[in-house]
Each structure stands twice: as C-alpha cells, then as structure tokens.
A and B are shown apart, each in its own frame.
Chain A
Amino acid sequence: MNGAPYTVLRTRGLAKQYPVAGGRRLVAVDGVDLALDAGRTLALVGESGSGKSTIARCVVRLVEPSAGEVWINGRAVHAMGRGSLPELYREAQMVFQDPNGSLNPRMTVRQVLHEPLRLHLKLDRERREARARQLVEQVGLTPAHLDRYPHELSGGQRQRIGIARALAVEPDLLILDEPTSSLDVSVRGDILALLLRLQREMRLAYLFITHDLQVVRHVADDVAVMYLGGIVESGPVAEVFARPAHPYTRALLSAAPVPEWGVTRTRLRLAGEIPSPIDPPPGCRLVGRCPLAQPGCSAARPPLVEVSPGHLSACPVTLTAGDRP
C-alpha cells in the first residue's frame, strides 16, 4: 500500500436549488469545490441550514445536484445513470446522523449487515456470515449482537452497526453525516476513537459533517466552513483554527467554549440571525451581520482567495486590512 496522495473525492461548482412557492428558489448549496485525499479527513462545518447535509447527499446522489461536478475515484458521479449508482455505492458509503432512523426497525443486525454483502458483493450465505462476524468485531461489538434488533441496542451500539454496514463493501470514501451529534456525550468519544482507528486501518477518506468545532479539531485534517450554502473559508485545521481569516469563522470560533480556566478572548459577534436562503441577494452572504462589512461587500460574491498556502478565505476586507491575529 503506498502513501501517495490520491484524490478520492472532488467536487466542482456543486449546487442545489429547490423551487419554492411564488417562482422563487431556495439556494441550499451554491457552488462548492471540495477535494479529499485517500486516508484524510475533511470536515464540513456550519450551522443548521448551511447546506452541509445537502452536500453529503448530493455527493452520493441521494439528492440530485442542480449543477456542478462530483468525481469519486476518478468517476464522474454527476454523469452516472441512476441505474448504475450501486457501482458508486461500492466505493462511497455513508454513516447517518440518527442511528435510530437509519436502521430498519424490523431487521436484525445480521440482516442489516448481510444486505450489502448480498446485494453489492453477491457473497453466498456462509461468506456473508463470516464477514458479518468480522464486521461487528471490527466496530467493537460481538457476534452475539447479530441477533439483536435495533431497539435492543444502545444509541452508541446502533451507530457502530451503522458504521459496520457502511464498511461492509470496503469503501474508499465514508461520508459521515454528523455521526455523533445524536449520541450521548459519554459515547461520542468512543465512536470518534473507533472512526479514527478504522481510518488508520483501512486508509479511508472521511467527509465529516459536523457543527461541533471540538470534533473538527479532534478528527479532521482539513476543514471547510460553510455559511448559507457556500464555503467561506477552508484549509488545514490547525491553520484555520489558529489564524481564522473570515469574520464568520472568527465568530464561530470565538463563540465556542474554551476548555481552559482563565483564558479570555475577544469575541467577534455577528448581528442578528442567519438569513433566509430563499432568493439570496448578490454579494457576500454575511452582509448585514458582519461588523467589518464595507460598501463593496454587497456588490458581488467575494471569491475564495489564498491567504497562506492551502488556506482559502472569501473575505477581501480581512485580507487587505491586514488585521489577521
């Protein structure tokens, strides 16, 4: 196995709009470019409604993107016929936010794990069973759990089954849609540790969707910060967290609690609430909330500009003002 960087997922100009009443349109995702290498973790962070989950679903065509390109392992996902999507799902799998809702309540763990092995890999019963036992152990459970129904498992155990199901086909890309946010705080750490171990063992690429900055710091290599359907800042986690360039990222980071006694920070506060994604005006989406806004901000959407190697920000004001901390 070689360690050469290999791009598993790439999106270009990914967009999703929904028509709403009155001929208007709701812009859920607006021109998103992502790149994710094998064995790496890219975290997508943002508030609810920022379009994170829509991106996850567009990438695997659970939701049809309105525009843009998605490439997974060099395969043009956006151009695939609906009938050939199972080929894609042998390479890209998803772990869902709610382990209750993503497991069929009438299926035992065994049935859940056998399904991808039967449908995708066409294994016979004996080999399915052997692989299912291997999978439950891989996620820290025992073969005794195979006979359980989802309601007989704890939330953490259910999420482990969701992970095992996604791993069954030995994918290259795992899309993790807030995999820990519906779990008790006490088991979140276990699940994150499990995910990190699996990534090391299998050189999985993770597209990790979350709104939890602590989780990002803990698991991700790169981070893309989303606001109202667009990426406002992206780059290596350490760099973005240490020197956030975009006012939104700064606000987000300064709003998060600090796990250290006596540390005080200057907080950057945004005014008001996240605006409606229906028929957004041109220009920067943060106009109206941003304390640093200039008259030019509402003219056109500021592009992502490199502020340091690999670190992109969509705010010309902080770039020119040179007030980076």
Chain B
Amino acid sequence: MKEKWSALMEKDGAKSVAASLLSILIGLLVGCVIVTISGLSSAALGPGAVWDGIRLVLGGILSTGRDAAGGLTFGFNPANVGNMLFRATPLILTGLSVAVAFKTGLFNIGAPGQYLMGAAATLVTALSVPTASVPAPAVWLLAFLAGILAGALWGAIPGLLKALLNINEVLACIMTNWIAANLVTWIFDGSIWRNMEENGKTGYVYKTARNGVETAKWGLDAIFPGSQVNWGIIIAIALAAAVYILMTKTTMGYELVSCGSNRHAARYAGINDRRNIVLSMAIAGALAGAAAALYYLSGNTEFYWSTYQALPAVGFNGIPVALLAASNPIAIIFTGCFMSMLNIAGQQLTNLTGFNEYITDVVIAAIVYLSAFSLLIKMMLSGRKKHRVPAADGGPAADAGKEKGGGEA
C-alpha cells in the first residue's frame, strides 16, 4: 500500500492535485480559525454562532436555510448550485486567462483591466445595437465578440511592451489595469447607458435585458429553479476544452509553451518568441474579456461603472483559480466552481449568521498565499530533500527569476 502511494506521489500531476488539496484545506482552516477567534471575542456572537459559521464556511453550498427551531438545515439546494455555476462562469474564464499566460511564462495580473474593457465593450454593443432591426441573438453574438476583442487588445498592450521593450509584464499590467479602470468610468460617465430609470441605481449601467439581449437558459432553469444559471457556463466549459486542445494538441500551443519553458531555447529552435509573447497575452486578454461578456450578457446582472477606485475582484480571483489548477485548463473548470462555491458559502454566511461574506475572500487569499510556495509543498509531499527550487512547470517563477533583472524595469 505504502509503495503504491509513493509511486503515485512520484507522478507530477498527482503531486499538483495533492498540493492544491492541501492549500485548500489549510485555507479553509485559516477561515475557520478566524471565524472562531472573531466569534468568541465578539459580544454579539458566541460559541453557537461560531459553530454555525464554521458549518457554513465548509458546507454553505448545501445550506437550505434555518428550520423553525432556528437550527441550520442542509440538503441539496438547486438555487445555490445553479448560482454557483453562474458565478463560476467568469471565474473559469479569468482562470484560463491567467493560466494561458502562466504557460508562456507570463504573470497576467492584468485580468481585471482586460475584464473591465471587455465589460464596457460588451455593454455598449449590447445596449446600442437596436434589437428592433437586428435579431437579438445576433446582437448577443456581436456583443460577445466585442468583449473578446476589447479584452484581447487590452491584453496585447503589456504583451507588446514585454516583447519589444522587455518591460516587466507585471508592472505594465498594473498600469493598464488602472488606466482601464479610469477609461471605463470615463466611457460611462455622462453617457446614455447609465441606469436613470430606477431609483438608487445611479452607479449602474442598464441591464442588457432592457434591449432584449440575454443569454439563453435552455432548460438549465428547469434543472436549477430559482437561480441565475444560463448557457454561459456551457460556453465557458467549451472554451476551457478549446484552450486545452490549443495548448496540448496544436503547433501554436506547443510554441507558446516552449516560450514559457525557456524563451531563449525556444528562439534558438526557430520559434518567434516575441510574437508568441504578444499572442499569449492577447489570448489571455480575450479570455478575460469573454468572462466579462458572459457575466454581463446574462441579462440580469448590473455593471457598476464608477470603477476608478477599485478593480473587479473576479479578475484577481482568476489567479487562485489558475494556481490551484496548476494551469491545467480542464482542472480550471473544477477550481473555478470551487471558488464560486466559496462565494455562495459566503453569501449564506451573511444571510444566516452574524458573520459576513468577506471571510471567503480571506480563505481565497490564504490559498493564493500558499500557492506562492506550492513548489515547496510539492517537494515536501514527495519527500525529497532538494536544495534548489526546480524550474516551475508553467509557473511564472522560473521566467521572472532567470532573466536576472538586467534590462527589465
């Protein structure tokens, strides 16, 4: 038994899965500890509330509310599961965005900016093209493509800067993020797309449903009644599969991954490394743009346009999604769902207890923190004593470390 176990742990994939599970476990533990400490030290809460809180952090997705006696009840809750799938849609896509860049040795911290640009392009298209003269499905497709294109263009900027001028893509992405945040605010400030009809909605753009544009539900609403889920999740899964095929089965994917493993060796082998860096960032941007497009085209989601002071969390949350999945596109479908499951658990926590949804962000942050040294965890799992951290497979550490700063700003 023990031999089988160690043989299994020799496999890299198994080690990645084990490392991710360990990160998740520790992350959840951190969440529970914080719930316990804050609950016990607060006068309004107490041991009972702490017990409720911990159960919801771990199993919020199965929560069905409280019974007459005030105790928490658990069971299959179709609305929760449906909403989980709905919220997983953008997370899967931003996760893919970060993962594609990782595979090419780039750290795409620019997903929030690409997401915002995608959201703006999608919303403007979906609200401007009149559905009276153009069929709504065609507008939907047009808006979806506009979002993808805007994201791709925005992602290509740091890619170009990296490829041509060797500017650290992390710094470039941070700048483009905030430029996007201000640009999007500028686009919507004073525009005709702001929601002026409903009171208390001054900061929001109209829902796309106002123009009759929304993603089809086609039976998913029958399976998960009372939830927002639509065919966006199916598109996201299909895109994940497409990225998987692209990265593992095509020449283009091979070139991208080669550049990630060793940019200089790839160039020596006749691969145009500059072109591939731009391409990788453009694909990453396109995926982040698609995330925004699918989220806001659902018809009943609202976009808060005054974004210049804060970037959308869903962009940053693509990072843990990709890290937990070790940048494997298929695994990202599951880690994306896991992240949105935490999200739902947080919502349940706010609704049912004195705690609030931010604890799930703490859990996510703890997981990202642990992912930063997932290589170390992997090595510990395999029980090997090594003095040097090996080059990351698909991680950004390898590339960032090797270039020795030199020309990078």
**Is B truly associated with A?**
no
Interface residues of A, Cβ cutoff 8 Å to B:
none
Interface residues of B, Cβ cutoff 8 Å to A:
none
